[in-house]
Each structure stands twice: as C-alpha cells, then as structure tokens.
Structure 1
C-alpha cells in the first residue's frame, strides 16, 4: 500500500501538551499528543502522558522498527504517519473541509458542525458519543438527536449529564456511534467496533489520533471518518483543514 516501511524514517518526533477552556464554557480539558513525521506527513496519537526521551528516541528510526515498539502510542503515530505519507488525505478524501479562523470556541463549534454533518443524524436518533466533546453534543442537540455520553475520564457534560466510562454497555438502544480516534490509542476501538458490528449500528469516527489509519476500516463496520491530521484546530487561530472519508483508500 506504499513504500517499504523499512526505508521510511522518522525525521521529527514531538509531544504537544495543551490545556483549554473555551470562553463562556464551564469546563476545561487537557490533551497530550505524540506526533512523528515521515517525509511530509505527521502521524499522531493521544496519550495520558509520555516521557520526552521516549519520543525523541524515535527520531532516525524506521517505520518498520517503530511498528514493533512496546508503546502502542508510538506504534500508532508511526503507522499514522506512514499511511498519511503513502495515501495523503488531500488525494484520498471524499471532501476536504476548511475550519475557518476564529477563537478556540468558534473553531471547536465549526469543526463539530462538520463532524455532525458527516454523521447526519435524523431527529429522534440516539447516538453513542465516545470521547466527549461538548461542541459535538451541542450540534447533536440542535439536530434533534439524543445521546449517551461516554469517556474514560467520566464526569459530566456541559449540561450536567452523567458521562459513562463503559462504551460497550451504553451501545444498547443506540442508532449510531460517533467515536473519537483516541479509542485507538487507549485500546478500546476494536472491541467497540466488534460490538457495534454485531449490533448492526453504524460507526462514524472523528480522528486526530490515527487519522490516516481509521479510513481503512470503512466498509468493515465504519461508515465514515472525519480525519484531522496535525496541526489540529485548537493549535492555531487561522484556518485548518479536516478531511471527510466515506470510501476506503485503495491499495
């Protein structure tokens, strides 16, 4: 599906640590993301934490070597970078969407609207949202859809609704699944997908983590992917791009 991974080297490795609280919002959140660069492409994986030396040690290593790395976040970021290089989003996506410039809240809302448009729920749909983003929940409410909010961190939504930590048990009674690419990094993606396939519930993904990996699951339980490779919308007040995939990349 691309060049020999033994000949593709990681030239840059870095970690992004971010905290955010949008104006007028009552909640804050933090993200830590590992990113590796292969040629022009950057692959990423969210983590709880990681030592800088572990990331820096990836520089100069081949993708093939890193696919055997003991840390799943490193493996994911390396594969993500390789696939983004082999099958660039701008050439394989069904549509690319520009998230216009603005405040962190404005960009969060614009990105969320594009993701919910891709999901395309109808009024009355009940959506399992895995990886709680309050802007996504806002747009689901605007579309007349209800939701079950799930996140490993638990807590409550911006509207005081409880957030469950068990996505698989929350799937019962849902018409759609909207899940974050972070499920790849924390090991919950495969069991969630298997459970959704068994239940006949379509899965749509919004992905900063594994943005170039997840389109390969389209047609195997995944209906569509909103891929957002680095740089992410929350890093820059200027325009950024997300890529909507509705077809599996060709080999």
Structure 2
C-alpha cells in the first residue's frame, strides 16, 4: 500500500486504529510475537557521575522488531514470558501502554522497513567503543537540528551530549526529565513538560514519550503552536516517522538491536520533513 494514500494520523491511538483496520498492511491478527524480550541495562561513561538505567520490552514479529523503553516499575520482567505467542491484534489492544507501543513498533518495522522509505537517509554507526558510538549517534541527531542563536530549545528526555550540542549552536536549553535533577553542566531539569512546551521555539524529545503516554500531548501542543518537534527514537523507531510532516519535523530512528548492544556497525535512519528548515525553526 502506498504511503500517499494514507491519511496522516492525529495520535498514536489513531495510528493504531488504522493498523487494526489493515490500512498499513496485513491483518495484525494473523501475525504473532514469536519472541518477547525483557532487557535491563545501565550505562555510565568513565569520568562522569551520570548513570543511565534502561529497561526495555522488545517483541519480534517475523523479520520485524519492536522496542519500548519503560520506567523501572512500569512493567514486571515476567511480561516477556507472558507475551510470546500472542497475536498482534491482541497486543495492540492490551491495557498496558508499553505493550501496545512495542507491538505497534514491531508491526510497522515489518510493514514499513526503514531501508525502503524514500524519506530516510541511513547512517551506519562505526565499529568502536560505547563512547565512540554514542558520540557518533548524538552528532547525527544534532545534525538534524536547525538551532538559531538565542533560540529556546526544549529537551524532553535529557541526553547530556545533546545539551552540549544545543549550547554549542547558541541555543538556550530547557531540559525536562523524570529521572534527573540537573544536567552534567549543572542546569536544573524540570519535571513538568508543560511550561517547557509553552516556552520552547523548538522541541527535541525521546521516543520514550511514547511509553509514558506524553507523546500525543507534545504533538498536539506543538502542532497548535507551529513549533517543530525533533524525535530521537529507539522506542518507537518505526512509529514516529509516520508523523513526519504532520507534527514531527525530523526523526533519528534507531531500530533494535540498539547501538549500545553491539560494537559492530549498526544503522540509524534519519528523516527530515521537506518543509523543516532554518527559517521555520527560527524563534
């Protein structure tokens, strides 16, 4: 089915309903989660005192993988044993948001693979150490940004190299995160995203906004304000590009297996809406 025939989704629920109708390909009831994985991982780079703690639900459906990063207590680790063997129609209507997100991501990774999307530019992260690969990934994300000096840039989900990239371009970083009190350079981190969304001239968000349910609010708020949204997505890497040009200005999509799980070259897929340029992003 051609992407051009599809009505752009207004929300994640809208996109899910379209998938359940068969608008994006085969009936989800005929596809099954053959594999379900629960991954608990932490990262701390030498010379820093910041420890990133991540918990992932990953579903495999045929040749597709769907990934969702969750908060520590959001899902019980036994969920991986529970979900394998179930069909995607069931999982897409599960009561738990992360399960629905992982299922939707798996379905779209299968029916809309990044390598077949004409809007995507694929960049292979180099073989190297975790720090070398993380820097290459963050530089690629920073390359999607059009930051003007003095521009207020909301950062929903703090990654310290992106704080530095915003500041290096002369932007004013407005960080927001549930799990950090301050950035590495000492900037205070807000917990409530709403004041950040109200002030920002540009917003960068993590795909984890899908798993905590805030993505739709971010999307609607910034659409109403006409403010560009750039998303760096491990969670929902196949979901977020479906909103490109309809609330999302650019995406760095990193499908499973994520860069931190390998030293070998792995791809990230960079999307930019045609109308996203420096003029639009200017304050």
TM tier, shorter chain?
A: over 0.9
Match of 2:88 in 1: 63
Match of 2:153 in 1: 127
Counterpart CA distance in 2 for 1:82 and 1:39 is 9
Counterpart CA distance in 2 for 1:64 and 1:22 is 40
1:64-120 Cα distance to aligned partner (Å, 9 max, x none): 111111111111101100000001011114201111122222211111110011123
For residue 194 of structure 2, the aligned residue among 165, 168, 171 is 168
* Coordinate RMSD, CA, aligned: 1.5
For residue 86 of structure 1, the aligned residue among 111, 115, 130 is 111
Indicate the SS of the match to 2:245: coil
TM alignment of 1:1-251, pairs within 5 A: 1-49=24-72, 50-92=75-117, 93-247=119-273
1:5-45 Cα distance to aligned partner (Å, 9 max, x none): 11111110001111110122221110001000011111011
Counterpart CA distance in 1 for 2:180 and 2:155 is 13
**TM-score normalized by structure 1?**
0.94
Moved more, 134-143 or 181-190: 134-143
Counterpart CA distance in 2 for 1:230 and 1:39 is 14
Indicate the SS of the match to 2:144: helix
Unaligned runs of at least 5 residues, structure 2: 1-23, 275-283
Counterpart CA distance in 2 for 1:158 and 1:79 is 34
Counterpart CA distance in 1 for 2:71 and 2:47 is 26
Unaligned runs of at least 5 residues, structure 1: none
**TM-score normalized by structure 2?**
0.84
Indicate the SS of the match to 1:57: helix
- Cα shift at 1:247: 5.0
The alignment of Structure 1 onto Structure 2 pairs a total of residues equal to 248
Moved more, 191-200 or 80-89: 191-200
